[in-house]
A = this chain, B = another copy of it.
């Protein structure tokens, strides 16, 4: 059973799959040898060979610069900073942002030994200048906010305007179920109707 065991062990290392669901996934693949297992193996090899980080923004794409950085329709004077590629994808799904991105690849964390030189920050600063806007779309966690403050300090001398995502009640959110921090932020940032 060695080939099957290897497959199961590697599948179990994917996020969201444990040992039991990795066995189910392996069985599912073996039963769909031509329709799923071979195409998936080929897609992994294709992605491994073709996908590279964009030298401008850190997004992953088969081209460098990436499709977003090359798109002349997108506003090059607005740069949205995200922690991770998943956050970029989440923002792209909204279709509400027509500027460009910068992917940091993590957040500052003294505990995990992640310093500014470990993140894609110096490259970000070289992209900024007067008349530009930098939107800090970092997670509302301690690490995310620490990183946001650090980047805001570094960006200041470039003359770029710095903003961050609004904090408040999520759409569909019920006050009764929200934490005190969110409610306090929503109260403090209340807007005239």
Contacts and interface: CB of A to CB of B under 8 A. Distances in A.
B24 A60 contact: no
Nearest to A26: B47
Contacts of A50: 3
A99 to B, nearest CB: 18
A140 interface: no
B33 A25 contact: no
A64 to B, nearest CB: 13
Q: How many copies does the complex hold?
A: 2
Interface size class of A (residues with CB under 8 A): 35 or more
Interface string A15-42: 1110001011111111001001111111
Interface stretch (A4-12, A114-122, A150-158, A163-171): A4-12
B13 A16 contact: no
A84 B21 CA distance: 15
A88 to B, nearest CB: 10
Contact of A27 (B27, B33, B43, B86): B86
Given A36-B10, A38-B45, A21 B30 contact: no
A14 B43 contact: no
B86 A23 contact: yes
A51 B177 CA distance: 51
B21 A48 contact: no
Given A14-B28, A15-B21, A3 B33 contact: no
B15 A62 contact: no
Nearest to A63: B1
B23 A62 contact: no
A46 interface: yes
A94 interface: no
The 4 A-B residue pairs whose C-beta atoms are closest, nearest first, are A41-B44, A16-B21, A10-B40, A7-B43
6 contacts: A3-B47, A4-B47, A15-B24, A16-B17, A37-B44, A40-B44
